[in-house]
Amino acid sequence: MKQWNCRLAKMTDAKALVTLQVDCTHKLGFAFYSDFELDSYIREVGTLDISLIHRRTYYVVEHEGHIVGCGGWSDRPPHYGKYLDSEELAVHHPKIRAFFVHPDYARQGIGSALMAYVEADIRRAGYDCVELTAMLSGVTFYRSLGYRKTGNAAVELSNGAYLPAIEMGKRFNEEEITAPTL
């Protein structure tokens, strides 16, 4: 059985995180987006918000010394908030942010376990619901974890491209959520 280790991300992880996130964005997004859209998104919006690392709400999953997954949350507007309209920013709940699992490790339980860990952290912070903006490639995964569509979104890029996405949310059950062991 494979063993994974989940820990808080560190600034020294930044380069490996960006590499993982860009790789995942291209490998998993190609069925839903053009190379032009993906390249524009990565160049203009990016994938890693280092403020999550500083706030200690961003996690990595390691396997044999390599980062194979990452994700976190924030109760602040995302760094790509300038691309959202004011209505989307008006009601603010914590948001799942920059959630990725390397394609070679997909469907092995890492994403689900990491999400349970992050949700438990959000719950311990006193929140009873969470939101996320899903790239089209992630909608099925989030839906399997109980997230429901709350709206459509599109990130408008400076070159005129729009990156369609789906707004999703989840309300936690009354029972205590505990983090699994990875």
Domain limits of the chain? 5-171
* pLDDT reported for residue 91: 47
Q: What is the mean pLDDT of each run of 10 residues along the chain (182 residues)?
A: 82 94 90 88 82 94 93 77 52 84 90 92 93 93 96 84 90 63 50
Residue 115: enclosing H or E segment and its boundaries? Answer: helix 110-124
| Closest to 74 in 3D by CA, of 100, 47, 54, 52 | 52
Distance between CA atoms of residues 79 and 89, nearest Å: 12
Superfamily (CATH) of domain 5-171 = Gcn5-related N-acetyltransferase (GNAT) (3.40.630.30)
* pLDDT reported for residue 173: 79
Q: What pTM value is reported for the model?
A: 0.83
* pLDDT reported for residue 69: 95
Q: In Å, how far are 60, 88, 106, 152, 182 from 101, measured between CA atoms?
A: 10, 27, 6, 23, 14
